[in-house]
A and B are shown apart, each in its own frame.
Chain A
Amino acid sequence: MRAIWKYLSDVLKGIWTLIQGMRVTGHYFFRPWLIVTQQYPENRRKLVMFERFRGEVTMPHNENNEHKCTGCGICEISCPNGSIEIITATVLLPDGKKKRIIDKHIYHLGMCSLCNLCVKNCPSDAIVMAQTFEHAVWDRTQLTKVLNRPGSKIMEGIKE
């Protein structure tokens, strides 16, 4: 007799635990306003990334097309992947002295692991992380970018 009771109570207890589980899923089924997924390309306009989000390395320029990069090459050294190449040029200043300036700050987005070391180590804060994330392109040569814009020059008052 006791065996039968145990059998029956096992069955009922088992069913009860199953109902518990169904209650959880049922709870969400009948509350569609709790849906958490987003419709990505549609919500593009509303989508705001966090301001620290590391999307790609960029070099901000001001309205006079000036940046802060001195061409010191520290970012190139600190990059673990070799994604940055600094090409410098030497110009003759009016007072006769030679000065090294940045010619091309080449950045390979395809090789970058977005570790932030270059941004952190740049002595003149010339590069920052942008919040873009749609990096897909048709051809990977497009992932190689020159960060200093053509014709740009260094801001006044940035010391090496």
Chain B
Amino acid sequence: MGEAEQDRIETQEYLVNMGPQHPSTHGVLRLLLKLEGEIVHHVDPHIGYIHSGIEKMCESLTYPQIPYLTDRMDYLSAHMNEEAVCLCIENALGVEVPDRVKYIRTIFSELQRLASHQLWWCVMGMDLGALTTFFYGLRDREKILDIFEETCGARLTLHYSIPGGLMFDIHPNFRNRVHEFLNYFREKLPEYDQLLTGNVIFQERTRGIGIFPREAVINYGVTGPSGRASGFSCDVRKHHPYSAYPFVSFQEALDDRCDTLARYKVRIREMWESMSIIEQLIDNIPEGDYQVKLKGVVKLPEGEYFQRVESARGDFGVFIISDGKKSPYRLKFRSPGFSNLSALHAMSKGWKIADLVAIMSSLDLVIPDIDR
């Protein structure tokens, strides 16, 4: 075909709505895609379909009531969210929680991270079309949820951390169950690699796709495993240790290949690290109280307080402005999903629709975390 002839064929960009109800947006995220054929030219995320006004609601809740609500933002890292709020309130009050509380909180955070990464893994497989991974991931996650349920009575929205400590002491069976789970999962995790990681189709679908260099990651504020896959060392557990993280030794999973496969591998490595962290702590939980008694009405001294934790998706921050009353004047969450989503456009520009789905999966978005 001559060049003149080529000019005469008019191609057109067209718009496609992906979502708010679409199998791979995992919730009610709406992406407005500008496509040319299969190639994505522009991604415009529209959020707000599941906006629940949690930040505003918090302004009318008392401090002990806030953590229960934060469970419902990023429901896959419920415990980390609670922990962030509790740590923030405790710091503001100048309360030092017993070591026992710190240890248990850390173990719970890591279990939660494992559960979250398991779900991410199965969903990633499903997005790429390998439906069986979905059930294997959920099968293993069930074991962690059972541990949660036995100790704190809930599976998803735990509400286990409260300002000043924990809701209950750990269940007498807790240690056994965790050990049982670690032994079980250590056998199952290599299966994940056999089934998906090593698979040539999976490798082809992810290697070199959605490359996002380190500078861009920092500019967009992408944190968590997605940021670390581009060589951005941003693990809050390492850089600003909280709870029992100063007592454990672990490696920050870093990768510098910046692509979807790197984001995948960082998460798989984080699962191994989480298991080793739990292993270091589980047998050394110190004796002691599981909560400090706070005053009947908790009032934070006037001022501004900030606390960040590493949730399963990245850097989760809580910012409280207190005017000395029993509920915050303003409360702001810095949710990792929001910043990660903002990078989706830059990551997926020029790739195909199928790649967009893979990239979105590798960012591990939880929509209520974005639309809080």
A positions within 8 Å CB-CB of B: 13-14, 17-18, 20-21, 23-25, 36, 50, 52-54, 78, 80, 113-117, 120, 129
Does B65 contact A53, Cβ atoms closer than 8 Å? no
Given contacts A52-B152, A113-B68, A114-B154, 6 further A-B contacts (CB under 8 A): A14-B200, A20-B194, A21-B195, A115-B65, A115-B159, A116-B167
Any A CB within 8 A of the CB of B139? yes
Does B68 contact A52, Cβ atoms closer than 8 Å? no
- Contact-residue bracket for chain B: 20 to 34
Q: Would A52 and B200 be within 8 Å (CB), given that A20-B194, A78-B64, A80-B61 are in contact?
A: no
Any A CB within 8 A of the CB of B357? no
Does A120 contact B153, Cβ atoms closer than 8 Å? no
Residue of A nearest to B57 (CB): A80
Q: Which residues of A contact B168 (CB under 8 A)?
A: 52
Does B194 contact A23, Cβ atoms closer than 8 Å? yes
B positions within 8 Å CB-CB of A: 61-62, 64-65, 68-69, 132, 139, 142, 146, 149-154, 157, 159, 162, 167-168, 171, 191, 194-196, 198-201, 203
A-B interface pairs (CB < 8 A), number: 64
Does B65 contact A17, Cβ atoms closer than 8 Å? no
Q: Which residues of B contact A18 (CB under 8 A)?
A: 199-201
Residue of A nearest to B148 (CB): A50
Does B153 contact A129, Cβ atoms closer than 8 Å? yes
Q: Would A17 and B153 be within 8 Å (CB), given that A24-B191, A117-B65 are in contact?
A: no
Q: Which residues of A contact B139 (CB under 8 A)?
A: 36
Q: Would A21 and B196 be within 8 Å (CB), given that A53-B149, A113-B68, A117-B68 are in contact?
A: yes
Cα distance A114–B72 in the bound complex, in angstroms: 13
Q: Which residues of A contact B201 (CB under 8 A)?
A: 18
Does B132 contact A25, Cβ atoms closer than 8 Å? yes
Q: Would A21 and B142 be within 8 Å (CB), given that A54-B153, A80-B68, A116-B153 are in contact?
A: no
